[in-house]
Amino acid sequence: MQSARHSTPMNPATTLPTILAIAWLLPLAAFALVWVGYSLPQMAGGRASYGAQRTAGWLATGAIGTSCVLAIVALIIWLTQTAPHEVATVHETAAAHQAASEHMASPPTSYSGIYYTLAQFGKLRISIGYYIDALTIAMFALVTLISTCVHIYSMGYMHEELEDMVDREIATPDGNYYHRPGRYHRFYQYLSLFSFSMLGLLLAGNLAMVFMFWELVGICSYFLIGFYFERPSASYAANKAFIVNRVGDFGMLIGLMALWSCLGTLDFGDSNTPGMFSQLRSEAHQYELDAAAMGSESADTNYLLLFVAGVGLFCGCVGKSAQFPLHTWLPDAMEGPTPVSALVHSATMVAAGVYLVGRCYPIFVPEALLVIAIVGAITLTLAATIAITAYDIKRVLAYSTISQLGYMMLALGLGGWAAGLFHLITHAFFKSLLFLCSGSVIHAVHTNDMRQMGGLRHKMPWTAYTMLIGCLAIIGAGIPALGIGLSGYFSKDAIIEQAWSFARVNESSGYQLLMWLPLGGAFITACYMFRLWFMTFTGMPANTERYDHAHESPRSMVGVLVLLAVFAVGVGWHVPGSKLSVTSLLERARPAGTLETTTGTWLPNLTVPDEHLSHEPQIAIPAGWSAFAMAMGGLLLAAIIYVWRWLRAEEIQQSFSPIHRLFVNAWWFDQLYDWMFVRPALWKSKFFAGIDRYVIDPFVNLLARGTAFLARALDLVVDRKAVDGSINGLARLTWDFGNSLHRLQTGNLRQYVVFIVVGLLGLFAAVSLCWKYALAG
């Protein structure tokens, strides 16, 4: 499976794991240094100075920056040292695809191995391993790059935390704002820990390690959402995120157990023992999914186990990627600082769910893929509808993130492996750009409410126009006839094409919906993104006081915005003069056997089409144009309402007030969960607390009182009377006996002599008697 070009001195099988391991561990080192150097002293009561806190920031940024350089080196090594996989070329026509199909059935280049074995329990080996393929390399470069950008951006954004901070969200009882020492170093500490965990998740060679780092990114997310933990809303949001994720992780554990108990391993690749992928899609079986590998007697049971494993794994992804019905935590997670929202809650961590589905793609049966597609379709529509009514700039972006994650899940579920992961990568760039732009705006006007903004493009042009690029990228702006566009154009078109292709091979009306929902979603996406941009940057300033104080952000922040904008524009493009692009890189990692058109076993009319079929002109052209039309339609609608003001938003709200209420309240999901889970849980705990207080406590108290009474009775009867009485009686007896003897002590010497003589005679008599009878006799 390795490159044929072994003549070069650099062997990627050994260099890549080393380079990526260093890139992975550097942020951990930064975390440890900041913890030992800054957080520990602060816990002991010390206070880090301004300069020292700055150093902490530079330390963390340096570490992740070096990781980024190493990741790019790894990418270059990968591109130059490994032979392009046969599937790598994107086939323009079906004919070419057919011709190449002979070569398709070979697994992609990957390197897997073990850094360190943590423990071995019988068959179960828990190890820190690696599985490196083109997807790992691409994601590594993506995460380190965005993380570096966010680290640099935060130096400007978090500068208030350098010295004593006044939190204007919290009023103390005496009417002032809450004062506290700055936590700049702690922010960087958590960011470093997050980077380490996220990179570990990408590098992981087995699902057990994935799960460990899955939980680590979860706890980092908890720390970062709760960064302003003095605010009740922030600590509430942090708890909510953590608890909702546990629900998903429960399903994930079930999936892991199903896989492990059937396959006896959780390794992705083969190292000494065959991994999951090669067991489930063996070469002998033409890389088709072989349910018999699950080892049970009946074929139905095997299939059911595979389905359970797939859906279980997906449950974890539903939690982490904020899919319906566990999407409610992500909007609240915006309580964290904005750079965190950009890095953790839009670009990387929430995309980990999509990544995991993509990574474990070989184990999903068509029915499990259908579940993924349906959940994705529901999520993307639901979140998009909520986003059009939100006024909080970060909440709009949060719902947009949920919606875009829904797109990715939908694409993966419909068989568009490369489309989904390609959208993950492009989305990471433009969504982190959008979030950092919104952070720049919030930094300038000190509010999240878009109704308080307006006209800001005059005050902060760099932010405004980089954000415009981000908006254009997310709606998939491009010119279908020329085939040029921003990054989102390529990735979103790939998804719509795949949906179109899926709808063409599956006739039933329910499956048609899986095509119409993403198309409708494209319309709504354009509508709410440009609503956001128009409300924030165009028109008259809504609040002149805030407008007057607004200013362009410092150079470190703007520089990052420009860099990300460049990526948001160009990440979907081919490298000039070659066939190399993100798509072709991803194609090199496509799991073996997943490019076949497959049909379901339980649902025979379910067909998951070959992804390359979606590039055929009769699909790609109508799909591309309809996506284009939808996006332009949404943009126009936003312009009509918010620029030309032919329609007034208030009037539309009036005429569609029930629907508006539904959207504004986020479909009442929070209220529903409150009624379904939170309140019953509270009632139950109150009930049991009542039992505790009014039944168990009195019972225990009664027992205690009874014991005390018994003890007092025993004290009176046994201790005082029997024990004390006997001891006192003995003492009195001894005393009386001694008293009666003292009369013998007359002091008369002669009398003593008589006593001696009489005693002697008595003894003599007694001894003679004893002698006679006892001894002599």
Partner 1 sequence: MPILASLLTEPIGVAHYMVVGAVLFVCGVVCMATKRNALGILMGIELVLNGANVNLVALGSPYLRGESATLMLDGQLMAMFVIVLAAAEAAVALAIALNFYNNFGSIDVDRANQLKG
The answer to whether residues 170 and 230 touch, using CB atoms and an 8 Å cutoff, is yes
Region binding partner 1 by CB under 8 A among candidate stretches 183-191, 566-574, 628-636, 740-748: 740-748
**Residue 756: CB minimum distance to partner 1, A:** 8
Nearer to partner 1, 753 or 770 (CB): 753
- Verify binding: residue 765, partner 1, rule CB under 8 A: no
Q: In angstroms, what CA-CA distances link 641 with 521, 645, 653?
A: 19, 5, 12
- Verify binding: residue 45, partner 1, rule CB under 8 A: no
| Neighbouring-strand partners of residue 126 | 119
- Verify binding: residue 733, partner 1, rule CB under 8 A: no
**Residue 765: CB minimum distance to partner 1, A:** 16
- Verify binding: residue 742, partner 1, rule CB under 8 A: yes
**Exposed (0-12), middle (13-18) or buried (19+): which is 325, by Cβ within 10 Å?**
middle
The helix/strand/coil state of 53 is helix
- Verify binding: residue 643, partner 1, rule CB under 8 A: no
Region binding partner 1 by CB under 8 A among candidate stretches 317-325, 328-336, 556-564, 747-755: 747-755
Site for partner 1 (CB under 8 A): which residue of 45, 510, 576, 747? Answer: 747
**Residue 742: CB minimum distance to partner 1, A:** 4
Interface residues for partner 1 in 535-574 (CB under 8 A)?
Answer: none
**Residue 751: CB minimum distance to partner 1, A:** 8
Per-residue contact flags (x/-) with partner 1 for residues 444 to 483, judged by CB under 8 A: ----------------------------------------
- Verify binding: residue 740, partner 1, rule CB under 8 A: no
**Residue 718: CB minimum distance to partner 1, A:** 38
- For strand 478-479 and strand 177-180, is the pairing parallel, antiparallel, or unpaired? unpaired
Region binding partner 1 by CB under 8 A among candidate stretches 33-41, 411-419, 717-725, 748-756: 748-756
- Verify binding: residue 10, partner 1, rule CB under 8 A: no
**Exposed (0-12), middle (13-18) or buried (19+): which is 447, by Cβ within 10 Å?**
middle
Site for partner 1 (CB under 8 A): which residue of 122, 298, 644, 743? Answer: 743
**Residue 774: CB minimum distance to partner 1, A:** 24
Nearer to partner 1, 103 or 772 (CB): 772
Q: Which helix (H) or strand (E) holds 127?
A: strand 124-132
- Distance from chain centroid for Cα 681: 24
Region binding partner 1 by CB under 8 A among candidate stretches 50-58, 223-231, 251-259, 745-753: 745-753
The answer to whether residues 448 and 400 touch, using CB atoms and an 8 Å cutoff, is no
Nearer to partner 1, 744 or 776 (CB): 744
Structure tokens at 574: 């081919």
- Verify binding: residue 654, partner 1, rule CB under 8 A: no
The answer to whether residues 587 and 85 touch, using CB atoms and an 8 Å cutoff, is yes
DSSP for 708-759 reads: HHHHHHHIIIIIIIIIIHHHHHHHHHHHHHHHHHGGG----HHHHHHHHHHH
Region binding partner 1 by CB under 8 A among candidate stretches 28-36, 155-163, 166-174, 741-749: 741-749
The answer to whether residues 246 and 263 touch, using CB atoms and an 8 Å cutoff, is no
**Residue 728: CB minimum distance to partner 1, A:** 24
What gap in Å lies between CA 667 and CA 328, rounded to an integer?
11
3-state SS, 243-296, equals HHHHHHHHHHHHHHHHHHHHHCCCECCCECECCHHHHHCCHHHCCCCCHHHHCC
- Verify binding: residue 753, partner 1, rule CB under 8 A: yes
With a CB cutoff of 8 Å and minimum separation 6, the contacts of 632 are 526
DSSP 8-class letter at 35: I
753 C-beta neighbours (distance < 10 Å), count = 10
Region binding partner 1 by CB under 8 A among candidate stretches 216-224, 525-533, 667-675, 736-744: 736-744
What gap in Å lies between CA 727 and CA 706, rounded to an integer?
29
- Verify binding: residue 746, partner 1, rule CB under 8 A: yes
Site for partner 1 (CB under 8 A): which residue of 658, 750, 774, 776? Answer: 750
Binding site for partner 1 (CB under 8 A): 741-750, 753-754, 757
